[in-house]
Structure 1
Amino acid sequence: MEERLLEIRNLKVYYFARCGVVRAVDNVDLFMNKGETLGVVGESGSGKSTLGLSILKLVPPPGRIVDGKILFDGIDITKLSEEEMVKIRGKRISTVFQDPMTSLNPLMKIGDHLIETIMVHEDVTREEAKERALSLLDAVGILPDRINDYPHQFSGGMRQRVMIALALALNPDLVIADEPTTALDVIIQAQILELMKRLKKRYNMGIILISHDISVVSEIADRIALMYAGQVVEFADAISIFEKHLHPYTEALLRAIPNIELTDQELV
């Protein structure tokens, strides 16, 4: 029987600006089971990144969670204190940010990023943490002798692999990947998506993949949620989204995917 990992009920996240209230996430309902990949797709400003931040309870001011529930493994995250959330972030829910170029400390060696993360959260020696770091680098396809290199010595794709290793450092139940391939070229993008698929099976974790590109999400998602103007306009398994979609916004996103087999399409 499938176990529910995350369930979002009637979630409302608003930004209270001088010009008025921005309903970034407005009455959203979603769910995902353990070990699944949930794709969240939408254009810029649709609310998808705010949704991801809400799960981490990291919505920046002037935004805040106004109403609703975020049930993670049965625990309502919206009711937790900051002290309680610190124990969940990284340990049980981790994240991969969009731009690997700026997400790593340029003054720290790659290995130290991993070792420090492990030692802060777990009672291990530095040597034990280093062994874990080497294992993580191997898992994401980085040679162990690069553990003492700095971020500037890595390409964009390799830095994103380091970010994925960091996200996996504490064996989380859920990884939120917010546009993890946007800054990468198409070939490296495909490699990162394939890596994420392999790691999901290896670590039996759930993934929320946030993207503006439905073709990217379709590569690994079990379920897909389409967001528009802060609302989920369509939510179904990946096959149904492509073959039995109902909403015109979904149709528009699918029509935006280039198809080399069709030669009579008009260029927009």
Structure 2
Amino acid sequence: MRLATLRIDESGTTVAVRVDGDAVTRLDGFDDVGAVLRAGALEQVSSLGGRQEALDETKLAPVVVAPQKVVCVGLNYRNHILEMGRELPEHPTLFTKYPESLIGPRDDIQLPPESDAVDWEGELALVVGKTVRRATPEQAAEAIAGYSVLNDVTMRDWQYRTPMWFQGKAWENSTPIGPVFVTPEEIPAGAMMTTRVDDEIVQQTPIDDLVFDSAALISYISTIFTLNPGDVIATGTPGGVGHARTPQRYLTAGQTLSTAIDGIGELVNVAVPERI
């Protein structure tokens, strides 16, 4: 099953929709995919009727508009760890974002005037479907509601100002997520993630090349605090980031950042100077 969140008026009001090919069915009573998950209604909406319309991709909002938590994982793809000159971690490296960071799958990425080193990080986004605390591996696997695509756009000059990464990772209007939420069976075996800057492929890696998989992440993170339906976990980026290149490369105004995962879909976001 494929779900999305649509903006339905100029005020930013949203509604969750079920996506069937090029058409969507409005799921009235649910503001976004997160609301579906919090209500425990994922199975119910698979056959729920409602207003049908053609899918207008320009209206797509973040699949979860305001998650309680956006937990991000660093150094979780083997090839990215090696390109950054680090050893495989014993435990997940965690940091957070806030809902203000999230933008829709066709929204512009805002380039802040304070940063000259805005980098791309294509990622598989895991969406939690059950409330869990100290989840066993089995409970963690059952808490996987589904997946989306995310790009952890990073201001590298701010990330490395201190040993703590957070300040380079949580800028407003920087993190596209979408275009849809899919339940796990929608993703084919051997699915690839591909990130492009304009027409150039800069990252391309199987999404199963993770050091810590989805269930392991839910189990680990829920040991620290409760995870709730609609919480988002960004599972890490593969090799190919601009900061690790020689010479280093970063996003500039006018470039298009595209992030695609087989079975889910593609983010297409133009980088623009932030208006202040």
Structure exhibiting the larger radius of gyration computed from Cα positions: 1
Q: How does the TM-score come out when normalised to structure 1? A: 0.26
Between structures 1 and 2, the one with greater strand share: 2
Between structures 1 and 2, the one with greater helix share: 1
